[in-house]
Amino acid sequence: MAPVRVSVVIASTRPTRIGHHVAAWVVEALDGLTAPDGRPVEVTVHDLREIALPFLDEPGQPADGNYTHDHTRRWSAAMSATDALVLVMPEYNRGYNAALKNAIDYLYAEWEGLPVGLVGYGWHGASYAKSALRQTLERVKMTVVDGPGLSFGQTLTQEGEVGADDAAQAALGAMLAELVAGARSAS
């Protein structure tokens, strides 16, 4: 039985970011999770800072799928090999970050039907950023599953220490269960 392939994307590219700590919390929650049909979950972490996509430099439309650059082909292959996606995203000025928007804009067909969970962090639990991102994700035909938002001073320190309360843990668990159940390979 093929595993359900879940990708966790660290969206922040800042030198002093804490997204990798939040991603570790998500990966820990995925550990040992199985699909409703008993298949194991396989997790891959993709770090937008390491992927280092330049601002969209493909000459053609992403909807055409005719990629000319190796970095685009690698990003496409990674997302094509994904059954469900978790975006670990910061909130900057009540919005989501440019590197995340850029990574979404590189592709099109790879997103269609892909369930995506949003785990945000910031001063307000990234509620504004998640709300703004939802419109973009729905436009590229992803199935959006809301997840927890971690707030500085409550469930997250500025150094990245996650102290998620029961509500945040429950929200993460519910989001992951819904993503795994709705994974592309399950349909």
Residue 119 near residue 88 (C-beta atoms within 8 A): yes
Return the percent helix, strand and coil in the chain, to nearest 5: 40, 25, 35
DSSP secondary structure letter of residue 166: H
Tokens of 66: 């005719």
CATH class label, 4-182: alpha beta
pTM score: 0.96
CA-based torsion, 149, 90, 13, 83: positive or negative:
positive
Q: pLDDT at residue 187 above 60?
A: no
Backbone φ, ψ for residue 171 (5° rounding): -65, -40
Q: Where are the domains of the chain?
A: 4-182
Question: What average pLDDT is seen over the chain?
Answer: 96
pLDDT digits (tens, 9 = 90+) for 106-163: 999 999 999 999 999 999 899 999 999 999 999 999 999 999 999 999 999 999 999 9
Helix (H) or strand (E) holding 157: none
Strands (E), 15-172: 41-47, 84-90, 115-122, 143-151
In tens, the pLDDT along 87-114 reads 999 999 999 999 999 999 999 999 999 9
